[in-house]
Amino acid sequence: MKIQNAYVIVTSPGRNFVTLKIVTDEGVYGVGDATLNGRELSVASYLTDHVIPCLIGRDPQQIEDIWQYLYKGAYWRRGPVTMSAIAAVDTALWDIKAKLAGMPLYQLLGGKSRTGVMVYAHANGRDVAETVDRVGEYIEKGYKAIRAQSGVPGLSGVYGVAKGKFYEPATKGLPEESVWSTEAYLDFAPKLFEAVRVKHGMGPHLLHDVHHRLTPIEAGRLGKSLEPYRLFWMEDPTPAENQEAFRLIRQHTVTPVAVGEVFNTIWDCKDLIQNQLIDYIRTSVVHAGGITHMRRIADLAALYQVRTGSHGATDLSPICMGAALHFDTWVPNFGVQEHMEHCPETDEVFPHAYRFEDGYMLPGEVPGHGVDIDETLAAKYPYNPAYLPVARLADGTLWNW
């Protein structure tokens, strides 16, 4: 069997997505997500101009060899563009292999380790009252785990707070700018979680994303101040380039820490995991080299009782979500999966077998990862350039968004 054709589909049904389709000479095909929010066309070009010519004629069943060929063979290793491109190839090849086997992907990975994948929803509001209400709505829908984000008094355009029905940080035109104040946020965050616990009790798992905005000692203070509200995790409390920083956070708080949505390889998280500086690893199928590499990360994490909590915002396409749900169904050290609902246009372009049931998601039983792309419909939504925002302090200093 040979790879006969491969091509990239860029579409924007509600937001931009990049998809790789690999077609074999026996007619079986697979699809992989290659979306890198705000930098989409760089991955599309990396695939079209540099990767696809190397794929034609290869045996699509040699997933490991193709992964190694693309990783080692480029000489230039790692990075979000490279690893998203490799991820797209890898996801499409696993899709093909599972279709050939006539099995849902989780079976090929080793079968079910659980009956359903616990997912967390995004409750966000402009203020405490609205966020508390949103949490209530998700509890009503059956979610067992809910991330709470709220507007902070005195700050406009805080990360995680929706302008419309669907939260989407990327905007058309040049990057939007917002002003950040750590002081205002640190005073406010414990009040938000106190209000959520007072209204909804200690039952639901609560999560919170700090989105890389604090220094290590500030993160320690935040974690300590949130301890009474027993968070499931505090996410990205500080940028993770300097991994020693997490030791300092650990010295001050037992609030669990989740990191990794911007990581691309096992090398980005090796020290954090081996030194037990985090509790959840948030790497995703699309940004960390596909199923093949995610397995390596999860196996390393398992040695240190670090569990998975994969990134699953709306800029990760339904194809990534489908592949992630098969992975989550198998992976022994699963923690939780992020789930942000896609808009109806996105769902229509990417027909999928996965579904939500009472707080859990199920990957479906169709052979492959169970997600396809309707190319005719996709062609109706041309690429729409958009950027992620940037944040500045009140004096204009560029900060972490």
Ligand X SMILES: O=C(O)C(=O)C[C@H](O)[C@H](O)CO
Catalytic residues: 159, 211
Residue 33 binds ligand X, judged by CB under 6 A: no
Taking residues 162 to 201 in sequence order and writing x for each that binds Mg ion by CB under 5 A, - otherwise, the string is: ----------------------------------------
Residue labelled with tokens 């690999």 = 22
Smaller CB separation from ligand X, 241 or 395: 241
Q: Which does 313 bind (CB under 5 to 8 A by kind): ligand X, Mg ion, none?
A: ligand X
Report in angstroms the alpha-carbon separations of 297 from 77, 196, 270, 274. Answer: 17, 34, 8, 11
Contact 86, 70 (CB under 8 A): yes
Contact 306, 297 (CB under 8 A): no
Residue 261 binds ligand X, judged by CB under 6 A: yes
Taking the C-alpha atoms of residue 377 and residue 13, their distance in angstroms, rounded to an integer, is 9
Smaller CB separation from ligand X, 97 or 211: 211
Where does this chain touch ligand X (CB under 6 A) — which range of 25-33, 62-70, 112-120, 309-317?
309-317
Which one, of 47, 17, 22, lies nearest residue 33 by Cα? 17
Taking residues 365 to 394 in sequence order and writing x for each that binds ligand X by CB under 6 A, - otherwise, the string is: -----------------------x------
Number of residues binding to Mg ion, judged by CB under 5 A: 2
296-300 contacts, C-beta under 8 A, 24 or more apart = 296/266, 297/266, 297/269, 298/327, 298/331, 298/332, 298/333, 300/266, 300/269, 300/270, 300/273, 300/274
Residue 313 binds ligand X, judged by CB under 6 A: yes
Contact 161, 151 (CB under 8 A): yes
Task: Report, in angstroms and rounded to the nearest whole number, the Rg of the chain calculated over CA atoms.
Answer: 20
Where does this chain touch ligand X (CB under 6 A) — which range of 109-117, 174-182, 307-315, 320-328?
307-315
Residue 40 binds ligand X, judged by CB under 6 A: no
Residue 315 binds ligand X, judged by CB under 6 A: yes
Contact 288, 263 (CB under 8 A): yes
Q: Which of 168, 268, 328, 338 binds ligand X (CB under 6 A)?
A: 338
Shortest Å distance, C-beta 320 to ligand X: 11
| DSSP secondary structure, 114-147, as one string | SSSEEEEEEEEESSHHHHHHHHHHHHHHT-SEEE
Which one, of 50, 20, 86, 6, lies nearest residue 378 by Cα? 20
Where does this chain touch ligand X (CB under 6 A) — which range of 63-71, 308-316, 323-331, 364-372?
308-316
Shortest Å distance, C-beta 235 to Mg ion: 5
Q: Which of 40, 95, 168, 209 binds ligand X (CB under 6 A)?
A: 209
Q: Which of 37, 124, 150, 238 binds ligand X (CB under 6 A)?
A: 37
Report in angstroms the alpha-carbon separations of 110 from 291, 302, 362. Answer: 13, 16, 16
Shortest Å distance, C-beta 93 to ligand X: 25
Q: Which of 209, 268, 279, 315 binds Mg ion (CB under 5 A)?
A: 209
Name which of residues 91 to 130 contact ligand X (CB under 6 A): none
Chain-centre distance for alpha carbon 240? 16
Joined tokens for residue 259: 């990191």
Smaller CB separation from Mg ion, 33 or 209: 209
Contact 57, 241 (CB under 8 A): no
Q: Which does 169 bind (CB under 5 to 8 A by kind): Mg ion, ligand X, none?
A: ligand X
Residue 90 binds ligand X, judged by CB under 6 A: no
Shortest Å distance, C-beta 266 to Mg ion: 20
Name which of residues 237 to 266 contact Mg ion (CB under 5 A): 261
Taking the C-alpha atoms of residue 299 and residue 291, their distance in angstroms, rounded to an integer, is 12
Footprint of ligand X on this chain (CB under 6 A)? 37, 169, 209, 211, 261, 311, 313, 315, 338, 388
Footprint of Mg ion on this chain (CB under 5 A)? 209, 261
